[in-house]
Structure formats: structure tokens, C-alpha cells
Structure 1
Amino acid sequence: MKKLLYLLVVMCFILFFSCGEDAIPKPKAQLRLEYPQPKYELEAKSLPLTFEKNKLAKTIYQQASNNRQLALNLEYPLLNATVYISYMPVTSNIDSLLRDAQNLTQKHVVKADNIQSDLYENPDRKVYGMFYQVLGNAASQSQFYATDSTKHFLTGSLYFYAKPNFDSIQPAAAYIQNDMMRLMETIVWK
């Protein structure tokens, strides 16, 4: 009987103190990611071209599998991403280089919701290319190629070190896409 009375007192105590204001749900919120304002610097080391890159990105030079190709990575530690860049000289292979660059982008069609392509031309600097924005849960969110069509060919691809989830990485992808477009716009062939 004492146990029943004790249980009744505890339940009354809980009911008495649990009554209060009604619970109000928190308002919906959007994740706000802020990245530093980009500051650009000239990148010219050991490449037959120059371009501007974001100072936030660390440049890592790679030795490519063949001696004709040069490779470098622009690593964004803050964003957990890397832009992989490859340079190849053009001999009589411009058609195959263009086909390979376009096919690399088309491989993402399986997972992509849409691929938007923007033609880039700068006749004064002899830079012609294409910038691809891959929408959806594809492995690469952006790719580009640039060439003068006679001597130089450059490709770049953006990859994140995370499972592709477009909604989550979209702000970081947009930030780096701006850097990639700036890179294309500032190319000067040597």
C-alpha cells in the first residue's frame, strides 16, 4: 500500500510540475555557410601558361604518368575539395583531346540531374573552351577545358571528399566554380 501511495504522489508531482507553457516548434532555418572573400594570385610555376587561383587553395604539383602531360591539384582544405588540373600539349591530337574532355563530363550523366555547358571564348588571349556545371549527386560538380587549339590544352575537374549529396555541397561547389571560371578567364599561354 505504501508503494502505491508513493507512486501516486510521484505521479502527481510530475503532472504538477510538467504543466506549463505549450511547446513551440522552432522556426525553419537555412544553413548559412560563409566562405572567405576570394583573393587571387598568379600561378605560373612550371607550366606553359599562367592563371589566377584563389589563395585559399594550395597548389600541389604532380608528375603525370607520361612525360608530356603536366598535372597539378588545387586543394581546398577548408571545403574538403580538390580541383584536378591536367595540361597536355597539342600536336595533331586536338580532336581526341576534345573528345576525351567531353566524354569525361558525359560519364556523369548517370547520376547527374542536368549538365549545363557554357562556351568560353577569349580571342585576344586565344583561349577557347567549355565550362560544365554538373547538377545532382554526381561525383564531379564542375569540369572545364581550355585550349588555343594549336599548342595548349588544359582540363580541370572538381571533386569533393564526401559522398555526393548536391544539396549539402552546393554552396561549396558554387564557391569553387567561381574560382574555376576565374582560372579560365585569366589563362595566358606562354
Structure 2
Amino acid sequence: MNLKAAHIMVLCSFLIFSCKDDVLPKPDAFLALNYKAPEYSLYGSDDCSYEFMKNALAVVRYKSDCSAVLEYPALDAALYLTYRPVTNNIKELLIDAQKLTYEHVIKADNISEEKYFNEEHNVYGMFYDVAGNAASQSQFYVTDSTAHFITGSIYFNVKPNYDSILPAAAYMKNDIRHIMESLRWKK
């Protein structure tokens, strides 16, 4: 093999092995947030007139008025439950609950409502799904309309960025729905 043929072979091998796709920058990576499946158990305070199924991830602190905070350290979030007795003030309680939700309309892209009825256990309410960079992604209220009224709001301990907290917000929405569906008034 002569020198000219060797040069041609080296040149051809460079051309063959150097033909690759253009180098493109990789997109920013997003944190994959996976949470273990919820494990629920019945929970309530002896002093309060309601109980519900609580996720094992939540730590509950009751206040003297039977309001409660369910803290979720793994999600850096908290669900605030506010209990109010109904004393001929159901209309005002409903207006306040709706007003609290719609205060987020400034930052929200959308607020959808889902009615909730459980005639067997006398629990009625509304679930609000708040999309966008609002301070609270989900809110709800439940009542028996004669004696008990509970509102709930979820808050994350971070600046609202809907895309970043979406997996945690979805997890919490499912938890809220489970609380609503399992809530029972004590006799």
C-alpha cells in the first residue's frame, strides 16, 4: 500500500466517523417528585365534633376551637382546617368560604368548582381547584348546614410556582378529597 492510499483511507475514516448529529443543548432538568401511596387511618380529637381519615404523612395539631393544621413535612405543605359552629349563620359562613377562595382569582389562571354531597352522613360541600400561581392550590368547605362548618385551604411553604409544585399539589388535592369523603360528624 502506498502513502497516497494510506492518506485517502485515513481521510475517509475521519469523514465516516466525524459525521454525527449536531450537538444540541440539553433542556433544564426537573426534579422528579414521587410520593409513596397514602396510608389512611381514622383521626379525630375527643374534644371536637368531627373525624376523618388522615394520611400517615400528615402531622395534626388541633387548636382550642377545634380548628386544625395538618402539616406535611415531606411536601413542605400544610392543610389548614377551620371549624365554625353553625348558629343561624350558614349564609354568612358560605359567603366567607367562597370569598376566601375567590381572593386568589388575581393570581389564578382558573378556579373550578366541584359540589360534594353525602346524604348518608349528612356532609355537603364544595371543592375548589385553583390553577396558576395562587397562594393556595385547593380549598374546600363541608357542612351539615345545621350545626357544623369546616373550611380547608392548602398552602406550600414556597413562593407559588404552579409548574414546580404541580406533583405535590396533585397529591394534596387527592388527600383533600379523601378527607371530604371520609369526614363524619360525631353524635
Q: Which TM-score band (shorter chain)?
A: 0.7 to 0.9
What is the alpha-carbon distance in structure 1 between the residues aligned to residue 62 and residue 93 of structure 2?
A: 21
Aligned position for 2:33: 33
Q: Percent of pairs identical after alignment?
A: 52
What is the alpha-carbon distance in structure 2 between the residues aligned to residue 21 and residue 100 of structure 1?
A: 67
1:148 Cα shift?
0.5
Aligned position for 2:178: 182
Q: Secondary structure at the match of 1:51?
A: strand
Are 1:89 and 2:85 counterparts?
yes
**Of 134, 138, 144, the match for 2:140:** 144
Equivalences for residues 35-184 of structure 1 within 5 A: 35-45=35-45, 46-63=47-64, 69-184=65-180
Q: Secondary structure at the match of 2:98?
A: helix
AA partner of residue 158 (structure 1): I
After TM superposition, what 4+ stretches of structure 1 lie above 6 angstroms from structure 2?
A: 20-23
AA partner of residue 37 (structure 1): A
What is the alpha-carbon distance in structure 2 between the residues aligned to residue 47 and residue 38 of structure 1?
A: 24
Equivalences for residues 5-24 of structure 1 within 5 A: 24=23
1:71 Cα shift?
1.3
What is the alpha-carbon distance in structure 1 between the residues aligned to residue 145 and residue 115 of structure 2?
A: 15
Q: Secondary structure at the match of 1:140?
A: coil
What is the alpha-carbon distance in structure 2 between the residues aligned to residue 21 and residue 137 of structure 1?
A: 46
Aligned position for 2:14: none
Q: Secondary structure at the match of 2:121?
A: coil
What is the alpha-carbon distance in structure 1 between the residues aligned to residue 32 and residue 125 of structure 2?
A: 33
Aligned position for 2:5: none
AA partner of residue 62 (structure 1): K
What is the alpha-carbon distance in structure 1 between the residues aligned to residue 156 and residue 40 of structure 2?
A: 21
Structure 1, unaligned stretches of length 5 or more? Answer: 1-19, 64-68
AA partner of residue 60 (structure 2): T
Q: Secondary structure at the match of 2:140?
A: strand
AA partner of residue 33 (structure 1): L
TM-score by length of 2: 0.84
What is the alpha-carbon distance in structure 2 between the residues aligned to residue 26 and residue 48 of structure 1?
A: 58
What is the alpha-carbon distance in structure 2 between the residues aligned to residue 50 and residue 31 of structure 1?
A: 35
1:27 Cα shift?
5.6
Quickly say closer, same or farther: Cα 1:30–1:48, change in 2 above 3 A: same
AA partner of residue 147 (structure 2): K
Structure 2, unaligned stretches of length 5 or more? Answer: 1-17
Task: For residues 34-58 of structure 1, give each alpha carbon's deviation from its aligned partner in whole angstroms, at most 9, with x where no partner exists.
Answer: 1011000111113201100101010
